[in-house]
Structure 1
Amino acid sequence: MSSLQAAGPGRRNLITDVPGLRVGQAHDEGARTGVTVILPDERAVAACDVRGGGPGTRETDALAAENLVEAIDAVVLSGGSVYGLAAADGVVGWLGAQGRGYGLVSAAGVPKSPVVPAAILYDLANGGDKGWGESPPYRQLGRDAVAAADRDFDLGTAGAGYGAMAGKLKGGTGSASVVAADGITIGALVCVNSFGSVIAPGGRAFWAAPFELQGEFGGLGAGPLRAGPDEWGLAKTDPKARMNTTVACVATDVALTPVQARRVAIMAQDGLARAIRPVHAPFDGDVVFALSTAQRPMGEAPDFTVTRIGALAADVLARAVARAVYEARAWPGVTAWRDLTL
């Protein structure tokens, strides 16, 4: 089995190590919120899995394998709770102007319809100026984010994770990748606004420590990890419905069907369980998307390959969660992981 072991992170250690993907981000410093867009170079097969009890999503039903549309044009992750769903409008408008989207009718004067699923997190009570009246900033933030899409992007206090909290610590946007020994590439991007804690009680060690590669989130190791019953560490003390959400996207360059992509999304959710404790609670809105850029053929053992991709995606997503918090910068009155002196 040694030939199936992961070789290590990709060159960037970002989801954009998956060929055919770019990521764009934008934020509003005054409002303490932001948007992240995952943009495939070409339309991509996608699926999603929803585990949180209070999700906020757009167009996720379109991803069901039995439905008409088998590919998407972008995925949007946004702060702003329900207001943030409007970020997808800005992305749709930009894509449509580029002539991108699903073309049910091919005729002059009939625009294509970009398919842009989205998921949001709650950052409305983080101290930013949300006095936007009837003009929330999210449509423009979505447009700015997609227009800025590139292979490199910032982690931590950036994009949709700009205003996020991870338990009692500053949350953020994280990403990671792995390239297996046979060349399969898997990446993850996550915006962590969790109720649960990403570190073990009594210290600074991340729950995701056993999966860390090359010291990417501090290199503290897994030795200090412990988990007593009902001992959650720096989880939020007063969770409320729809206020605690981790939204993520995993991707691979292997060609997947919608059914296979759905299985990868399901398996990738285990990465959140490895990195956040507790997770998938009634007041969480956890959503994981899965994308395939189809740059690499499936091969002769599809079920086993999907199993490998799903298992690797879970590990990569756990790493991305830790990187989100590790890279986050503090605000006045808000503690970042780097501020801990435990």
Structure 2
Amino acid sequence: SHQNEVVATLQNAVETGRLPHLLFYGPPGTGKTSVALALCRQLWEPSQWRRRVLELNASDERGISVVRNKIKHFASLAVGNAPKKNPTSFFQKKDEPEPMDTDEQPQSEQNYPNPPFKIIILDEADTVTPEAQAALRRIIEAHSRITRFILICNYVSRIIQPLASRCAKFRFQPLPAESMKERLTLISEAEKCNLEDDQLDEILRLAEGDMRRAVTTLQSAHALSAAGPLNKDMLAELAGLPPPTVVDSIWKSMGTSFDKMQSAVEHVCAEGFSASALLVALSKKVVQDPNLNNMSKAKMSIRIAEAEKNLVDGADEFLQLMTVCTLALTCFEAQKTS
């Protein structure tokens, strides 16, 4: 595990039996849901934890009706543990010794803390509507004695402050390439994947700390490797990203003429590459280009951010790419004349 601070804190919470409401946030594929489920498995034995844990994906069930019905009903259920010893028999005499207890708790149960509360895991909580989050806040207050909540999200800023303030926050960092490569190598050896080290390194570069994306790309590459060797462009397309040659072609067209730049953008849109992914790749080019001055980099970065926001709002991909590339063309022309 790379999230050492998070794991150490949660292990201490399991040992002491003091578990607060939790809020896990960070980039996708960094182990937030896996840590939440592993925490539940540490608290109860396998036959108990499924009855004590309710896992919901808020992207599917994010309305206020789900909060008021399903979540509120589960949170209000009382939790009870069966007595460890049999009660004294009604027919037993007072001076008669109690019978030997034969229904003691199994050894497997004794190894678990078995705390007297339930856990509700709400995955992708940042997609829950603000009204539903406000209703959830009241449920957390009312049933905190018998229910703990684990909220999982990518963007903590989309959680309303009254709800976030009731949780202990844990930030999950993108995984480093070293630990990811160790796991990918183990998977590739177990599945007998015929991939070279440089191909694994390229998969890790494309994943950018997202272990889920790395494993998915490895699976697709393994299925496609039977048809022949894979290059970097093919791996990029398997990961759903524009190949480096496509990004380089657009970048080079910005330093030529408007007609060549427009034809390059039209070709990229016709090929079906994601405009958002292209904007992310172009932003890296802007930052790393030594020929652009700081003012040009600032203007282009702002324009890329505005174009990405417009794409989220449903704007046309071709027009947004053209606005960014046109500004870049202007900046490169100004650099030549200065």
**TM tier, shorter chain?**
under 0.3
More helix by share: 2
**TM-score, with normalisation over the residues of structure 2?**
0.22
Q: Which structure is higher in strand share?
A: 1
> Highest relative contact order (Cα 8 Å, sep 6+), 1 or 2?
1
Give me the TM-score of the superposition, normalised by structure 1. 0.22
- The structure having more radius of gyration, on CA atoms, is 2
